[in-house]
Amino acid sequence: TVTAFGSATFDITLDNDIFEYDGTKKEPVATVKVGNNTLVSGEDYEVIYTNNKNAGEATVTIKGIGNYEGSSGTDNFNIEKRAIELTAGNATKAYDGSALTSDEVNITSGSLAAGQTLTATTSGSITNVGTVANTVATYKISHGEEDVTGNYTVTTVAGTLEITKGSFDASV
């Protein structure tokens, strides 16, 4: 006689419940027990992952099969945002009457996930002798056509633009 456990309570333990975003689907290994009995994946249950690629809370659903048909349970895990720091470029030149800008932006801490690209702009400009901040004005992180910026915690650091006194030829 086989008894169906359609209302069994699954005790679900994940081998990892915190991941850092890297652009790939996360599928932690689930150990599933009913009482003291460890169940077998593919025989007693199947695993379904949802929202398991982008930063945020993801869900593992255990769906009973075979003797456990009709039972189910869930557990959650987190995918944390990936931290990066963007620093605007520095530039210096002698005064010549023309504006000084720098569109350079570098990742100075952390890194992008594989296959992802950064597009950024700066907003600094100076024409006369002095210094001004060169700030990161906009940024977007993409994976192909997909905007994945929301999966990152981005800190920006300003660079410096400086124009020094120019020299001139006083000879006649």
pLDDT tens by residue, 29-77: 999 999 999 999 999 999 999 999 999 999 999 999 999 999 999 999 9
pLDDT at 4 over 60: no
pLDDT at 1 over 90: no
Q: What pLDDT does 7 receive?
A: 82
pLDDT at 10 over 60: yes
SS3 150: helix
User: Would you say 67 and 11 are in contact if contact means Cβ atoms under 8 Å apart?
Assistant: no
* CA–CA distance, 19 with 143 (Å, rounded to integer): 19
User: Would you say 57 and 36 are in contact if contact means Cβ atoms under 8 Å apart?
Assistant: no
